[in-house]
Structure 1
Amino acid sequence: MRLLTPLIEQRADPCIYRHTDGYYYFTASVPAYDRVELRRARTIEELPQATPITAWLKPETGPYSELIWAPEIHFRQGAWYIYFAAAPSREIKHRLFQHRMYVICCKDANPVEGQWQFLGQIDTGIDTFCLDATTFEHRGQLYYVWAQKDNQIEGNSNLYIATMDTPDKISSAPVLLSKPEFDWETRGFWVNEGPSVLTRHGKVFISYSASATDENYAMGLLWADENANLLDPQSWHKLKEPVLQSCFEHQVYGPGHNSFTVSADGSTDLLVYHARTYTEIVGDPLWDPNRHTYVKALRWDDNGMPVFGRPSLQE
Structure 2
Amino acid sequence: MAEYENPIVLQRADPWVLKDGDTYYFTSSDPRYDTIGIRSAKRIDDLQKAPEVTIWHRHDSGPMSKYIWAPELHKVSGKWYIYFAAAQTDFEASGLPTHRMYVLENADADPMSGNWTEKGRIETPIDSFSLDATTEVIDGVQYLVWAQKDPAIEGNSNLYIARMSDPWTLASEPVMLSRPEYDWECIDFLVNEGPAFLLHADKVFLTYSASGTGVPYAVGLLTASRGSDLLDPASWTKSPVPVFKTCQANGQYGPGHNSFTKSEDGQQDLMVYHARNYTHIEGDPLFDPNRHARVGVVNWKADGTPDFGVPQPDTRWTPVTVDILPPDGGDDAK
Amino acid at match of 2:50: A
Q: What pairs with 1:240-259 in structure 2 (closer than 5 Å)?
A: 240-259=240-259
Contact 1:35 1:57 in 2 (8 A): yes
Evaluate the alpha carbon distance shift between residue 260 and residue 168 of structure 1 in structure 2; reply closer, same or farther with a 3 A threshold. same
Match of residue 173 from structure 1: 173
Residue of structure 1 equivalent to 2:296 = 296
- Identity fraction in percent: 51
Contact 1:244–1:308 (Cα < 8 Å) also in 2: yes
Partner Cα separation in structure 2 for residue 19 and residue 4 of structure 1 = 21
What does the per-residue CA deviation read over 1:2-51, in whole Å, with 9 as the maximum and x for residues that have no partner? Answer: 8963111100000000013x211100001000011111111211111111
> Aligned ranges for residues 188-207 of structure 1 at < 5 Å?
188-207=188-207
- Provide the secondary structure at the position in 2 that maps to 1:298: strand
Aligned to 1:69: 69
Unaligned runs of 5+ in 1: none
Change (3 A) 1:280 1:104: same
Partner residue in 2 for 1:115:
115
Instruction: Describe how 1:90-239 pairs up with structure 2 within 5 A.
Output: 97-239=97-239
Runs of 4+ in 1 over 3 A off after TM superposition: 89-96
Once the two structures are superposed, the pairs formed by residues 70-85 of structure 1 within 5 Å of their partners are 70-85=70-85
Quick check: 1:87–1:96 contact (8 Å CA) kept in 2? no
Task: State the Cα deviation string for residues 185-236 of structure 1 (Å, max 9, x = none).
Answer: 0000000000000110210000000000000000000010002100000000
* Partner AA of 2:77 in structure 1: Q
Distance 2:123 2:303 in 1: 38
Residues 96, 156 of structure 2: 8 Å contact kept: no
Aligned AA for 1:13? D
Q: Which residue of 1 aligns with 2:7?
A: 6
* Count of matched residue pairs: 312
User: What is the one-letter code of the residue matched to 1:120?
Assistant: G
Cα displacement string for residues 55-79 of structure 1 (whole angstroms, at most 9, x for unaligned residues): 1100121111000000000000221
Q: What amino acid does structure 2 have at the position aligned with 1:9?
A: L
Using structure 1 for the length normalisation, give the TM-score: 0.96
Letter of the 2:187 counterpart: R
Letter in 1 for 2:14: D
Alpha-carbon distance in structure 2 between the residues aligned to 1:240 and 1:96: 27
Computed over aligned residues only, the root mean square deviation of the Cα atoms, in angstroms, reads: 1.8
- Counterpart of 1:165, as a letter, is S
* Cα deviations by residue, 1:105-133 (Å, 9 ceiling, x for unpaired): 11100011241111110112220101001
Whole-Å separation in 2 of the counterparts to 1:306 and 1:29? 26
Cα 1:46–1:121, aligned 2, differ >3 Å: closer, same or farther? same
Any conservation in 2 of the 1:210–1:218 contact (CA below 8 Å)? yes
Contact 1:107/1:114 (8 A) holds in 2: no
Bigger shift: 226-235 or 46-55?
46-55
TM-score (norm 2): 0.90
SS of 1:184's partner is helix
- Change beyond 3 A, Cα 1:90–1:307: closer
**Which amino acid is the alignment partner of residue 176 of structure 1?**
M
